[in-house]
Structure 1
Amino acid sequence: MNLILRKASDRDLDFLDQLEQVAFSEAQQSSRRNIKKGINSDFQEILIAEQKHKKTPVGAIVLFKYSHTLRIYSIAILPEFQEKGYGAFLMDYILDFAIKSQMDVISLEADANNTKLIAWYENKGFVTKEQKEDYYGVGLHAVKMEYHIEDSSSEKGIKNIIVINKPHNWPFPDVNAKVITVKDYINQPEYQNNSDLRVFNLCSSYKYQSYGYYVSLLASARGQRVMPSTTTIRDFRILNVIQTATYDIEEYINKALRKIDGSTYSLNVYFGQTKNKEFKKLCLKLYQLFESPLFKVVFVKHEKWLIKDIQVLTLAKLPADDLENVYEFARRHFNKKRYSIPKLKNYKYDLAILTNPNEATPPSCPEALRKFKDIANKKGLFVEFITKSDTDRINEFDALFIRETTNVNDHTYEISRMAYAEGLVVMDDPWSILKCSNKIYQNETFRRHRILTPKTLVFTKNLFDNSMLDKLTFPLVLKQPDSAFSLGVTKVENKEEAVSALKSLFKKSDMVVCQQFLYSEFDWRIGVLDNKPLFACKYYMTKGHWQIYNWQSDEQDQSGDSETLNIADVPDKVIQTALKASALIGDGLYGVDLKMVGDKVYVVEVNDNPNIDAGIEDLILKDGLYEKVIDSFINRIEVAKNIQNIEFGGK
């Protein structure tokens, strides 16, 4: 949709006046004086719809904002621009605006004789509630119509689950949620196999690879709604991401804190609310950006108020005086909560490729990087290679292509998340990095969707007992959940070796992956882009070693041989399994590692940021491989630029 929405200003008065005259009957028209008052009203939201490139205004919406109801006062498109789907575009925005503002109802009035318009509203989900006699004048009747935003607590089958280390510490009775332990959530089948759960993670710590971290990770893998998500947990630790994400609400921050004396202020946000009513709007805005049940925002004032830090709160950290308010907010929250996804912003056609010139084993060699740049330039994309030192320039670009080994716990994730917050098209996107970086997430996801993997168990530190190894068949492979390039992966031949390896691994993570050892001469690597196969390779095990990489070797080349094949020459079962597995991660660029043992295909893992090196992965497609990747970026940028470019926020 080549359309954007922006807030109206006084310079739009002539257009809005013209629109009233051509779109509505005389009895329905607003006066020029009332239009001007509406533009400057806190109660009204007037938005102009205009064609993106021509900046031509084509329509407008006028919304009245009540406590729990969003009223559509008018919605209009110039006659010459009708029948193009613009009306549906405006209605989608109105629904999204109502959800974000936590409204219960969208209401409107329509001419009772305009059956075509009424049918259009009915098709959008509106229901006629009553007829209003003489509404527009004598004999000019209207119908009142309403759209009720579904109360999420009434969603069929959805249940609220509160996961907490010590359930007896939950002090609030009579909330619409079941309180369970971390142990039960991780191990009980009723929570493993039910996607109709809304999980509220109130663990005592969200530290990386702690139980709190894994509760959110597993919930996501199980297809459950979870708060806070692992993305939110990570975002709270990255100041640049916080400041980028909150840039658009600086006006709210400074308006809310204008009467605060001093240079620092802290605000606790409980389920999107606060006991300080004057900060209600600000809390809602913060909560829409950072969906976490309980968090604290620290503001600092220099020339203006800025966010210095955001901290996740646990029950133990709540002030005693706030508990009564928290209980009331929790009760309301569990009865009604809606979720929404922020929209992307749009920028110019420039591509940043993130690299690390000092990386020993980068995902793309210099020749491959040169090919990416040359082909992008030919297709109209300007390319600049950047490093982590260019983080503060990320909003200069349209898109970000990460060609540095990613890790959820370093700058690559931070830059990816920041780029997404700035509206860039990102590959690898932060969610793919999160999902691909953790074997526990993938195991849970593949198990749930019945994708064959080597037989896998997950050991948890506080629940593990050496006797658990007695019934297992050796050799086994033990993996640190965020292992990559065969690092953090250990093959153990017996129980004694396993106990020793687990002791070491538990020092780094509360959970460890234990997998059946499957021998094969090579692993398949299927490159996938946009849910389509991109390349196919056989990666052979290093000579005399059980892995592709042998980091203990003294040889200069520590990896095995490779063989690149035409997609058509790969067993169909391998391709289809790879596509199914990668689709569960996303629609970006992935490398799916598989083993074929007999007639069975096992998914080992899905990797974001797969290797694309000149003379290996591009051996079959040649420059065509680079063209496909660049074409994907162009298509994604075009889609992003045609999505609603909406400046959100009330007055």
Structure 2
Amino acid sequence: MKIIITVTSLKDWDFDIQDVEVVTGKQYLTNPVYSKLKNARVFNLCRDYKYQNTGYYVSLLAAARKHKAIPSINTIQEMKTLSVVKILSTELDSLIQKSLKDIKSEKFVLSIYFGKNLSKKYDAISVQLFNLFQSPFIRAHFTFSNGKWGVQSISPIASGDIPEDHQAFVEDATKKYFEAKKFSVPERTTAAYSMAILWDPLEKTAPSSEKTLQKFIKAANQKGIQANLITKDDYSTLSSYDALFIRETTAVNHHTFRFAQRAKAEGLVVVDDPESIIKCSNKVYLAELLKMHQIDAPETLIIHKENINIAPDILGFPIILKQPDSAFSQGVSKAENMEEYKKKVVDLLEKSDLIVGQQFLQTDFDWRVGVFNGEAIYACKYYMSKEHWQIVNWNNNGKYGKVETMPVEMAPPALIKTAEKLSKLIGESLYGVDIKQKGNKFYVIEINDNPNIDTGVEDAVLKDKLYSKMMDVFLNRIQKSKQVVLN
């Protein structure tokens, strides 16, 4: 991939960086060499990103040419919009407070060069702001008000505006950024495409273990897809890949969702996609969806402040109470009587205007059907944790019950049909559909994006064929996405 740096004037760039071509913004816009260039990454360091000025057009035309621009035209707009800046920066609130706690003044300016600051103590906040607002050099303005720090504005720093006493540091930071192995996908040998697998090495309840991720990587390589593990700090490398596979527990107000959004905007094949994360993470949405499409589920009621008292009459006791974004048995509780019910409902309604109340169905196990691309790929019986009513007992260090996996074709046809029907209503991503069985009837409990796939459990039947089958889907989607670009 060719690396280009655009500046307003060549005098603005006085650094010696190997394997990087430095041109003026005007040259990039007008020289046909660059309009014909394929597979380029453009670092836009022009002085002005104002609407319809040179810097603005560099990022705009880079998008039209299928070049990867930093900052992208979307990032330029985000930095100009104060409300967007504040919304995105709230994700980093605790880190901002921790990083700036020793500053005595009421204003603070942080200069960030490829995620680095002259003072190492600000590196953590610098790399996260760089991930949020991807521009080579940015300046973050903070103000202290009402006992806490907040972001007032984010603005790009043009190459010609770098303070003289920062020059040596900037050159070093730039060299390290371009030399970093993870800056771009390593040279491909036989691999035609590339995939980033997002994971958290420290996550205790990750959907796939590191051993399992290596199986995904091996299967991808066999299909001509070079797969690399990345973490939340590798946000800036996303555009180097053809696909993103998220193997970290997802949530809407979380970096996993931001990764999914950015990957989709960059044209990558994304699993799980942002829409699936939004839909699967909200149990209120699911309750309405099941009702609209007449899919069997335990008696369910959307509870709010006006109907608190009537829910027990409709659902009976015990009642299952779910916060809208609950997942993997967390955020789910059981109320055995009215006193317990009222206390738990009041607590939940402080966090959300709507919560889900559900009839309790006693079973020894829950079915979990894994569905990918609209097709069931595994079927498991997740038994309840010992002496507990859920498959995971979070009061006992997250202890799981036993699991039995069977061939999909051996599972009850009605079970598979229900799981596939619900999944198709959500999308074509990777889902885990939890279903209870009473006699010959099946009742949907929930659907999760990013379900568990682990060695010896969900792959117990298909083994390596499970990973191969999934990578076939990625390969087909990547190839189709490339055809769309070419057309």
TM bracket, shorter-chain basis:
0.5 to 0.7
The answer to whether the aligner puts 1:544 opposite 2:392 as a matched pair is: no
AA at the equivalent of 2:360: F
Q: C-alpha distance in 2, partners of 1:525/1:515?
A: 19
Q: C-alpha distance in 2, partners of 1:588/1:414?
A: 17
AA at the equivalent of 1:370: Q
The answer to whether the aligner puts 1:574 opposite 2:422 as a matched pair is: no
TM-score under structure 2 length normalisation: 0.62
Secondary structure of the equivalent of 1:414?
Answer: helix
Match of 2:470 among 622, 629, 633: 629
Where do residues 497-646 of structure 1 align in structure 2 (5 Å cutoff)?
497-553=340-396, 558-645=399-486
**Is the CA contact 1:524–1:537 (under 8 Å) kept in the aligned structure 2?**
yes
The answer to whether the aligner puts 1:391 opposite 2:231 as a matched pair is: no
Q: C-alpha distance in 2, partners of 1:349/1:472?
A: 52
Residue of structure 2 equivalent to 1:443 = 287
Deviations 1:445-490 (A, max 9, x none): 11111111111111124x3443543454111100000011111111
AA at the equivalent of 1:303: A
Deviations 1:313-345 (A, max 9, x none): xxxxxxxxxxxxxxxxxxxxxxxxxxxxxxxxx
Task: Report sequence identity in percent.
Answer: 48
Q: C-alpha distance in 2, partners of 1:360/1:583?
A: 30
Alpha-carbon RMSD across the aligned residues, in angstroms, is 3.1
Secondary structure of the equivalent of 1:584?
Answer: helix
1:365 Cα deviation from its structure 2 partner: 1.5
AA at the equivalent of 1:632: V
1:363 Cα deviation from its structure 2 partner: 0.6
* Residues 365 and 517 (structure 1), Cα distance of their counterparts in 2 relative to 1, 3 Å cut: same
Deviations 1:385-436 (A, max 9, x none): 0000101111111101111111111111111111111111110111111111
Deviations 1:79-111 (A, max 9, x none): xxxxxxxxxxxxxxxxxxxxxxxxxxxxxxxxx
Q: C-alpha distance in 2, partners of 1:576/1:591?
A: 14
1:375 Cα deviation from its structure 2 partner: 1.7
Deviations 1:331-375 (A, max 9, x none): xxxxxxxxxxxxxxxx97111111100010111122211111112
**Is the CA contact 2:131–2:233 (under 8 Å) kept in the aligned structure 1?**
no
**Is the CA contact 2:192–2:225 (under 8 Å) kept in the aligned structure 1?**
no
Residue of structure 2 equivalent to 1:216 = none
The answer to whether the aligner puts 1:303 opposite 2:158 as a matched pair is: yes
Deviations 1:118-166 (A, max 9, x none): xxxxxxxxxxxxxxxxxxxxxxxxxxxxxxxxxxxxxxxxxxxxxxxxx
AA at the equivalent of 2:390: Q
Q: C-alpha distance in 2, partners of 1:367/1:242?
A: 30
AA at the equivalent of 1:364: S
1:439 Cα deviation from its structure 2 partner: 0.5
Q: C-alpha distance in 1, partners of 2:272/2:156?
A: 35
* Residues 617 and 299 (structure 1), Cα distance of their counterparts in 2 relative to 1, 3 Å cut: closer
1:544 Cα deviation from its structure 2 partner: 1.0
**Is the CA contact 2:208–2:452 (under 8 Å) kept in the aligned structure 1?**
yes
Residue of structure 2 equivalent to 1:485 = 328
Larger of the two Rg values belongs to structure: 1
Where do residues 330-369 of structure 1 align in structure 2 (5 Å cutoff)?
349-369=193-213
Q: C-alpha distance in 1, partners of 2:308/2:286?
A: 24
AA at the equivalent of 1:381: I
Number of residue pairs the alignment of both structures matches: 324
AA at the equivalent of 1:595: K
Q: C-alpha distance in 2, partners of 1:544/1:572?
A: 30
The answer to whether the aligner puts 1:496 opposite 2:351 as a matched pair is: no
1:622 Cα deviation from its structure 2 partner: 0.9
The answer to whether the aligner puts 1:378 opposite 2:231 as a matched pair is: no
Residue of structure 2 equivalent to 1:201 = none
**Is the CA contact 2:299–2:315 (under 8 Å) kept in the aligned structure 1?**
no
Q: C-alpha distance in 2, partners of 1:467/1:355?
A: 43
Residue of structure 2 equivalent to 1:131 = none
AA at the equivalent of 1:484: A
Q: C-alpha distance in 1, partners of 2:384/2:445?
A: 14
Q: C-alpha distance in 1, partners of 2:377/2:156?
A: 51
Q: C-alpha distance in 2, partners of 1:468/1:563?
A: 35
Deviations 1:485-509 (A, max 9, x none): 1111111111111100011111211
Residue of structure 2 equivalent to 1:434 = 278
Q: Which has the higher helix share?
A: 2
Q: C-alpha distance in 2, partners of 1:460/1:454?
A: 19
1:303 Cα deviation from its structure 2 partner: 3.2
Q: C-alpha distance in 2, partners of 1:604/1:569?
A: 21
AA at the equivalent of 1:423: G
**Is the CA contact 2:192–2:224 (under 8 Å) kept in the aligned structure 1?**
no
* Residues 465 and 513 (structure 1), Cα distance of their counterparts in 2 relative to 1, 3 Å cut: closer
AA at the equivalent of 1:552: N
The answer to whether the aligner puts 1:417 opposite 2:417 as a matched pair is: no
* Residues 465 and 520 (structure 1), Cα distance of their counterparts in 2 relative to 1, 3 Å cut: closer
Structure 2: gaps of 5 or more residues = 1-29, 31-35, 40-86, 89-127, 142-152, 160-190
**Is the CA contact 1:348–1:397 (under 8 Å) kept in the aligned structure 2?**
no
Q: C-alpha distance in 2, partners of 1:348/1:419?
A: 19
* Residues 372 and 607 (structure 1), Cα distance of their counterparts in 2 relative to 1, 3 Å cut: same
Deviations 1:524-566 (A, max 9, x none): 1111111111011000011111100011126xx7110000001
AA at the equivalent of 2:393: N
Q: C-alpha distance in 2, partners of 1:241/1:432?
A: 23
AA at the equivalent of 1:441: Y
Q: C-alpha distance in 2, partners of 1:424/1:609?
A: 17
Structure 1: gaps of 5 or more residues = 1-39, 41-49, 54-205, 208-237, 248-263, 265-297, 305-346, 647-651
AA at the equivalent of 1:501: K
**Is the CA contact 2:312–2:319 (under 8 Å) kept in the aligned structure 1?**
no
**Is the CA contact 1:371–1:626 (under 8 Å) kept in the aligned structure 2?**
yes
Q: C-alpha distance in 2, partners of 1:474/1:367?
A: 43
1:299 Cα deviation from its structure 2 partner: 8.4
AA at the equivalent of 1:625: L
